[in-house]
């Protein structure tokens, strides 16, 4: 069994390769070519442990275990392990840090939604949240061609110095309303159980991504979902948590378009320059499977990691 650490994964997982693999994964998901059982959970008084299995033709089967403890102070709120199993004989072939994979694949999926759904000629983006996902989104959005300014809601100057970008200027702000009002793209990356933006601040034609998961609350206002053009990884996002997203409860799943359907050109993406498009991420096991398989293949090619006998 191959063991891969966080540092090794970060070295192996290149954003451009991951985005290509994820796009194929979204297509397979929407074409019903994957076996993805519903996400389940084990509760404790302080948090939850989620179980996320997935299978896909031509890939090793994956199971991610991810704990979500929002009250953590010295530890990350999300901690994860991913195990891969040989799809031919069922043998466990790899165990790897899932926290790094979760972080990178979530930001990469947001970037795919921006490439697919944002208006042409965007210049300003705003990231609300300066934690692990906020930083990951900043690094991913820095690769967007034409983006001039990337605003991050933070008062911590060290956050900005931690980021490097050859493209847009990365700028701190403490005014959510001001940056939201001027942004062409807004990325919500918080653990808030209350909306962190107001729909009245958002200008026409904006694309919004939301990756927060903290049921029963939500960082994303309900009226933005109801009045915008909604996109999801899978329509399972409308199922009750832990399977789906708290903010989509009670809505008709038919209002949500899957990213894979847009990539397959079986459904429309953005319909006009004035509509507000919304990508609500539930965090899908397909993304973990695709990313973990990519890491595993590259680790074998480069002889990275440590092999152990169980």
* 210-215: Cβ within 8 A, 24+ apart: 210/247, 210/278, 210/279, 210/280, 210/281, 211/106, 211/110, 211/133, 211/137, 211/187, 211/281, 211/283, 212/129, 212/188, 213/68, 213/245, 213/282, 213/283, 214/70, 214/246, 215/241, 215/242, 215/245, 215/246
- Pair 269, 302 in one domain: no
What residues pair up with 150 in beta bridges, in sequence order?
A: 125, 170
**Does residue 137 sit within a domain?**
yes
Same-domain check for residues 126 and 274: yes
Q: Note whether residue 6 is domain-resident.
A: yes
Supply 165's token pair: 């970008």
| Per-position DSSP letters for 67-89, written without gaps between them | EE-TT-SSS-SEEEEEEEE-TTT
pLDDT at 98: 97
Do 131 and 69 sit in the same domain of this protein? no
Residues 144 and 47 in one domain: no
CATH number at residue 295: 3.30.1780.10
pLDDT of residue 166: 65
Same domain, residue pair 165 and 276: yes
Give the containing element (helix H, strand E) for 53: strand 48-54
Please check whether residue 254 lies inside any domain of the structure: yes
Give pLDDT, residue 165. Answer: 64
- Would residue 107 count as lying in a domain? no
* DSSP H or E segment with residue 256: strand 256-258
For residue 71, being part of any structural domain is answered with: yes
Query: In this structure, are 25 and 50 located in the same domain?
Result: yes
User: How high is the pLDDT of residue 161?
Assistant: 72
Q: How far apart are alpha carbons 46 and 44 in whole angstroms? A: 5
Report the C-alpha gap between 198 and 210 in whole angstroms.
14
What is the Cα–Cα distance from 26 to 112, expressed in whole angstroms? Answer: 10
Tell me which residue of 126, 240, 244 sits closest to 188, measured CA to CA.
126
Residue 242 DSSP class = T
> Is position 110 within any domain?
no
Tokens of 112: 């795919």
Q: How far is CA 232 from CA 156, 160, 164, 217, 297, in A?
A: 32, 30, 30, 18, 28
Domain count, the chain: 2
Query: What pLDDT does 134 receive?
Result: 93
Q: Return all residues near 265 (Cβ < 8 A) that are at least 6 apart.
A: none
Q: What residues make up the domain containing 183?
A: 120-283
Q: Are residues 90 and 148 in the same domain?
A: no
Kindly state whether residues 124 and 59 are assigned to the same domain. Answer: no
**8 Å CB contact between 173 and 179:** yes
Instruction: Tell whether 274 is covered by a domain.
Output: yes
128 and 265 share one domain = yes
94 shares its domain with 198: no
Q: Are 14 and 251 in contact (CB under 8 A)?
A: no
Nearest CA among 66, 30, 21, 26 for reference residue 47: 66
User: Both tokens of residue 92?
Assistant: 């466990």
CATH number of the domain where residue 194 is located: 3.40.50.720
Pair 97, 124 in one domain: no
CA atoms within 13 A on the CB side of 237: 27
Q: In this predicted structure, what is the pLDDT of residue 100? A: 95
Same domain for 279 and 302, yes or no, is no
Question: Does residue 83 fall inside a structural domain?
Answer: yes
- Provide block-wise average pLDDT over 10 residues at a time, the chain (310 residues): 97 96 98 97 96 97 97 93 98 97 97 97 94 92 91 79 73 90 96 96 97 95 97 97 96 97 97 97 97 98 96
């Amino acid at each position: 069994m191959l063991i891969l650490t966080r540092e090794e994964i970060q070295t192996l997982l290149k954003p451009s390769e991951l985005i290509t693999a994820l796009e194929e994964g979204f297509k397979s998901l929407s074409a019903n070519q994957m076996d993805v059982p519903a996400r389940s959970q084990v509760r404790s008084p302080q948090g939850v442990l989620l179980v996320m299995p997935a299978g896909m033709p031509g890939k090793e089967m994956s199971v991610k275990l991810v704990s979500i403890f929002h009250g953590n102070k010295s530890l990350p709120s999300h901690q994860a392990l991913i195990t891969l199993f040989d799809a031919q004989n069922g043998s466990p072939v790899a165990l790897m840090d899932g926290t790094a994979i979760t972080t990178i694949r979530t930001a990469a999926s947001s970037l795919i939604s921006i490439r697919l759904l944002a208006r042409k000629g965007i210049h300003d983006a705003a990231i609300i949240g300066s934690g692990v996902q906020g930083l990951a989104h900043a690094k991913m959005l820095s690769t967007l061609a034409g983006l001039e300014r990337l605003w991050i809601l933070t008062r911590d100057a060290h956050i900005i110095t931690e980021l490097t970008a050859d493209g847009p200027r990365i700028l701190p702000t403490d005014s959510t309303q001001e940056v939201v009002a001027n942004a062409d793209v807004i990325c919500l990356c918080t653990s808030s159980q209350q909306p962190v933006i107001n729909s009245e601040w958002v200008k026409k034609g904006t694309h919004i991504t939301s990756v927060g998961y903290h049921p029963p609350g939500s960082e994303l206002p309900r009226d933005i979902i109801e009045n915008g053009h909604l996109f999801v990884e899978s329509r399972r996002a409308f199922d009750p948590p832990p399977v789906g997203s708290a903010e989509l409860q009670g809505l008709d799943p038919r209002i949500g378009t899957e990213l894979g359907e847009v990539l397959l050109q079986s459904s429309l993406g953005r319909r006009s320059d004035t509509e507000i498009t919304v990508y609500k991420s539930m965090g899908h096991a397909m993304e973990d499977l695709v990313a973990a398989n990519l890491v595993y293949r590259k680790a074998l090619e480069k002889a990275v990691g440590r092999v152990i006998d169980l």
